[in-house]
Chain A
Amino acid sequence: MSAIDQHVKTTPVDPDEARRVRLRKLERTGSWLLPLIIMIAAIALWDRICVWNGIPQYILPRPGVVLTTMIEDAGLLFSSLLVTLRITLLSLALAVIGGVGLSVLFTQSRFIEMSLFPFAIVLQVTPIVAIFPLINIYVDDQTTKLLLCAWIVAFFPILSNTTLGLNSVDRNLIDYFKLNGASRWQTLWHLRLPAAMPYFLGGLKIAGGLALIGAVVAEFVAGTAGQSSGLASRIIEAGYRLNAPRLFAALILISLTGIIIFLLLSWISHLALHRWHESALKQEQ
Chain B
Amino acid sequence: MPDRKSPFLILQSIGKTFASGVTALENVNLTVNEGDFMSLLGPSGCGKSTALRIIAGLSSPTSGVVDWRRAPLKQNDIGFVFQEPTLLPWASVYDNVWMPLRLRGVSRKDAEPQIAEVLERVHLTGFENAVPRELSGGMKMRVSIARGLVTRPRILLMDEPFAALDEITRFKLNNDLLELWQARGFTVIFVTHSVFESVFLSNRITVMAARPGRVYKEVAVDAPYPRAQSFRTSPEYAALCRNTSDVLVEAINATAEDLEAVDHVGH
Contact = CB atoms under 8 A, between A and B. Distances in A.
B78 interface: yes
Contact of A197 (B58, B90, B132): B90
B133 interface: yes
Contacts of B56: 179
A179 B100 CA distance: 9
Given A172-B86, A194-B90, A275-B131, A181 B104 contact: yes
B211 to A, nearest CB: 24
Interface residues of A, number: 20
Interface string A173-213: 10111111110001000110010010000000000000000
Q: Is the interface of B mostly helix, strand, loop or mixed?
A: loop
Q: Size class of B's contact patch?
A: 20 to 34
Contacts of A191: 88
Contacts of A172: 82, 84, 86
Interface string A114-138: 0000000000000000000000000
Q: Chain A binding site: helix, strand, loop or mixed by DSSP?
A: helix
A220 to B, nearest CB: 41
A179 to B, nearest CB: 5
Given A190-B102, A190-B103, A276-B133, A179 B78 contact: yes
B229 interface: no
A182 B86 contact: no
Nearest to A278: B133
A275 B89 CA distance: 9
A155 to B, nearest CB: 25
B107 interface: no
B90 A175 contact: no
B99 interface: yes
Interface of A: 170, 172-173, 175-182, 186, 190-191, 194, 197, 275-277, 281
